Chain A
Amino acid sequence: MKTSLTALALALTATAAFAEYPDKPVEVVVGYSAGGGTDVMARTVAQFLEQELGDGASVVVKNMPGAGGQIGFTEVSEAAPDGYTLGSFNLPAALALTKDRAADYDVDSFTYLANFVEDPNTITVAATSPFQTLDELIDAAEADPGAITLGLSSLGGNDHFAANMMQDASGAEFTLVPFKGASNARTAIMGGHVAAGTMTLGQTSNFPDELRVLAVLADERSPFRPDVPTAKELGYDVQMSSLRGIVAPAGLDDATTDRLRAALSAVNENPDFQEMMAEQGNPIAFMVGDEFAATSAKQDGIATQIWAETPWK
Chain B
Amino acid sequence: MYSDLLHALPDVFAWTNFAAVVIGVIAGIVVGAMPGLSATMAISVLVPFTFGLEPLVALGLMAGIYNGAMYGGAIPAVLLRIPGTPAAVATTFDGYPMAQKGEGGFALQVAVVSSSIGGIASAFALMLLAPPLSKVTLLFGPSEVFWVAVFGLASIIFLLGGNPVKGLISACFGVFVSVIGSDPIYGNDRFTFGQLEMLDGINIVILLVGLYALPPVIDLLETPLKTDGVNSSKLGTQSLWKALPRMKSYWKTWLRGSLLGIWIGILPGAGGSMAAFMSYNEARRTSKHPETWGEGEPEGVAAAEVANNADTASALIPALTLGIPGTAVAAVMLGGLLVHGLQPGPMLFRDNPDVVFGFMWQFLFGAILLVLLGGSLATNSFARLLNLPRPLLGSVIIVLMLIGVYSIHGRMFDVYLMLGFGAIGWVMDRLKFPLPPVVLGLILGGFAEENLRLALRIGRGDPMVLFQNWTSLILVALTVAVVVGPTLKKRFIDSRKKA
Query: Does A40 belong to the interface (CB within 8 Å)?
Result: yes
Taking a contact as CB atoms under 8 Å apart, the answer to whether A208 and B332 are in contact is no
Pick the contact of A180 from B184, B335, B346, B457 — CB < 8 Å?
B184
Q: Give 19 CB contacts A-B under 8 Å.
A: A34-B48, A34-B332, A37-B338, A40-B341, A43-B339, A47-B51, A65-B409, A66-B197, A179-B454, A182-B323, A184-B268, A187-B324, A191-B137, A192-B138, A205-B343, A206-B343, A206-B346, A207-B347, A312-B186
B 174-199 to A, binary, CB cutoff 8 A, 1 in contact else 0:
00000000101111110000101101
Cα A179 to Cα B142 in complex, Å, equals 9
Name the B residues within 8 Å of A177 (CB-CB).
454, 457-458
Interface centre among B184, B188, B345, by most chain A C-beta atoms within 10 angstroms, is B345
Cα A39 to Cα B338 in complex, Å, equals 9
Query: Does A210 belong to the interface (CB within 8 Å)?
Result: yes
Pick the contact of B339 from A40, A66, A146, A156 — CB < 8 Å?
A40
B 138-171 to A, binary, CB cutoff 8 A, 1 in contact else 0:
1111100000000000000000000000000000
Name the B residues within 8 Å of A65 (CB-CB).
409
Pick the contact of A155 from B186, B332, B338, B341 — CB < 8 Å?
B186
Taking a contact as CB atoms under 8 Å apart, the answer to whether B460 and A155 are in contact is no
Query: Does A100 belong to the interface (CB within 8 Å)?
Result: yes
Known: A66-B196, A208-B347. A186 touches B322 (CB 8 A): yes
Known: A43-B339, A67-B200, A184-B268. A34 touches B346 (CB 8 A): no
Query: Does B36 belong to the interface (CB within 8 Å)?
Result: no
Taking a contact as CB atoms under 8 Å apart, the answer to whether B338 and A146 are in contact is no
Taking a contact as CB atoms under 8 Å apart, the answer to whether B324 and A209 are in contact is no
Q: Which residue of A lies closest to B141 (CB)?
A: A193
Cα A285 to Cα B189 in complex, Å, equals 35
Known: A100-B187, A191-B140. A184 touches B196 (CB 8 A): no
Pick the contact of A313 from B44, B187, B332, B337 — CB < 8 Å?
B187
Taking a contact as CB atoms under 8 Å apart, the answer to whether A34 and B47 are in contact is yes
- List B residues 309-362 near A (Cβ within 8 Å): 318, 322-324, 332, 334-339, 341, 343-348
Taking a contact as CB atoms under 8 Å apart, the answer to whether B47 and A35 are in contact is yes
Known: A175-B460, A193-B141. A74 touches B322 (CB 8 A): no
Cα A281 to Cα B194 in complex, Å, equals 38
Taking a contact as CB atoms under 8 Å apart, the answer to whether B199 and A67 are in contact is yes
Closest 4 pairs between A and B when the two form their complex, measured CB to CB: A35-B335, A206-B345, A193-B141, A183-B323
Taking a contact as CB atoms under 8 Å apart, the answer to whether A35 and B409 are in contact is no
- List A residues 7-57 near B (Cβ within 8 Å): 33-37, 39-40, 43, 47
Q: How far is the CB of B149 from chain A (nearest CB, A)?
A: 14
Q: How far is the CB of B493 from chain A (nearest CB, A)?
A: 43
Query: Does A248 belong to the interface (CB within 8 Å)?
Result: no
Query: Does B450 belong to the interface (CB within 8 Å)?
Result: yes
Name the B residues within 8 Å of A68 (CB-CB).
187, 199
Name the A residues within 8 Å of B194 (CB-CB).
102
Query: Does A149 belong to the interface (CB within 8 Å)?
Result: yes
Cα A43 to Cα B52 in complex, Å, equals 11
Cα A282 to Cα B140 in complex, Å, equals 30
Q: How far is the CB of B389 from chain A (nearest CB, A)?
A: 39
Taking a contact as CB atoms under 8 Å apart, the answer to whether A187 and B339 are in contact is no
Query: Does A274 belong to the interface (CB within 8 Å)?
Result: no
Name the B residues within 8 Å of A279 (CB-CB).
341
Query: Does A165 belong to the interface (CB within 8 Å)?
Result: no
Cα A36 to Cα B324 in complex, Å, equals 13
- List A residues 173-217 near B (Cβ within 8 Å): 175-184, 186-188, 190-194, 205-210
Q: Which residue of B lies closest to A202 (CB)?
A: B343
Cα A155 to Cα B322 in complex, Å, equals 21
Q: How far is the CB of A145 from chain B (nearest CB, A)?
A: 10
Cα A71 to Cα B195 in complex, Å, equals 11
Q: How far is the CB of A197 from chain B (nearest CB, A)?
A: 13
Q: Which residue of A lies closest to B410 (CB)?
A: A64
Query: Does A280 belong to the interface (CB within 8 Å)?
Result: yes
Taking a contact as CB atoms under 8 Å apart, the answer to whether A210 and B450 are in contact is no
Name the A residues within 8 Å of B184 (CB-CB).
180
Taking a contact as CB atoms under 8 Å apart, the answer to whether B335 and A33 are in contact is yes
Q: Which residue of B lies closest to A278 (CB)?
A: B341
Name the A residues within 8 Å of B47 (CB-CB).
34-35
Taking a contact as CB atoms under 8 Å apart, the answer to whether A71 and B196 are in contact is yes
Interface centre among B187, B194, B344, B346, by most chain A C-beta atoms within 10 angstroms, is B187
Interface centre among B196, B334, B347, by most chain A C-beta atoms within 10 angstroms, is B196
Q: How far is the CB of A185 from chain B (nearest CB, A)?
A: 10
Query: Does A70 belong to the interface (CB within 8 Å)?
Result: yes
Query: Does A2 belong to the interface (CB within 8 Å)?
Result: no
Q: How far is the CB of B79 from chain A (nearest CB, A)?
A: 32
Q: How far is the CB of B36 from chain A (nearest CB, A)?
A: 19
Q: How far is the CB of B455 from chain A (nearest CB, A)?
A: 9
Taking a contact as CB atoms under 8 Å apart, the answer to whether A186 and B458 are in contact is no
Taking a contact as CB atoms under 8 Å apart, the answer to whether B347 and A155 are in contact is no
Taking a contact as CB atoms under 8 Å apart, the answer to whether B44 and A33 are in contact is yes
Q: How far is the CB of A46 from chain B (nearest CB, A)?
A: 10
A 268-282 to B, binary, CB cutoff 8 A, 1 in contact else 0:
000000001001110
Name the B residues within 8 Å of A205 (CB-CB).
343, 347
Name the A residues within 8 Å of B322 (CB-CB).
183, 186-187, 190
Q: Which residue of A lies closest to B47 (CB)?
A: A34
Name the B residues within 8 Å of A175 (CB-CB).
457-458, 460
Taking a contact as CB atoms under 8 Å apart, the answer to whether A101 and B189 are in contact is yes
Taking a contact as CB atoms under 8 Å apart, the answer to whether B48 and A313 are in contact is no
Q: Which residue of B lies closest to A67 (CB)?
A: B199
Query: Does A231 belong to the interface (CB within 8 Å)?
Result: no
Q: How far is the CB of B380 from chain A (nearest CB, A)?
A: 34
Query: Does A163 belong to the interface (CB within 8 Å)?
Result: no
Query: Does A86 belong to the interface (CB within 8 Å)?
Result: no
Q: Which residue of B lies closest to A39 (CB)?
A: B335
Cα A140 to Cα B409 in complex, Å, equals 46
Cα A67 to Cα B196 in complex, Å, equals 7
Name the A residues within 8 Å of B336 (CB-CB).
35
Q: How far is the CB of A78 from chain B (nearest CB, A)?
A: 12
Cα A47 to Cα B322 in complex, Å, equals 29
Taking a contact as CB atoms under 8 Å apart, the answer to whether B48 and A61 are in contact is yes
Taking a contact as CB atoms under 8 Å apart, the answer to whether B196 and A70 are in contact is yes
Name the A residues within 8 Å of B348 (CB-CB).
206
B 246-266 to A, binary, CB cutoff 8 A, 1 in contact else 0:
000000000000000000000
Cα A39 to Cα B340 in complex, Å, equals 12
B 463-474 to A, binary, CB cutoff 8 A, 1 in contact else 0:
000000000000
Pick the contact of B338 from A40, A74, A187 — CB < 8 Å?
A40
Cα A311 to Cα B3 in complex, Å, equals 54
Known: A71-B196, A190-B138, A193-B458. A206 touches B347 (CB 8 A): yes
Cα A149 to Cα B346 in complex, Å, equals 25
Pick the contact of B344 from A178, A183, A276 — CB < 8 Å?
A183
Beyond the given A71-B197, A176-B457, A184-B268, please list 4 additional residue pairs across the A-B interface where CB-CB is below 8 A.
A186-B322, A187-B268, A206-B348, A280-B338
Taking a contact as CB atoms under 8 Å apart, the answer to whether A149 and B338 are in contact is no
- List A residues 123-165 near B (Cβ within 8 Å): 146, 149, 154-156
Name the A residues within 8 Å of B318 (CB-CB).
187
Name the B residues within 8 Å of A34 (CB-CB).
44, 47-48, 332, 335, 339
Taking a contact as CB atoms under 8 Å apart, the answer to whether B196 and A206 are in contact is no
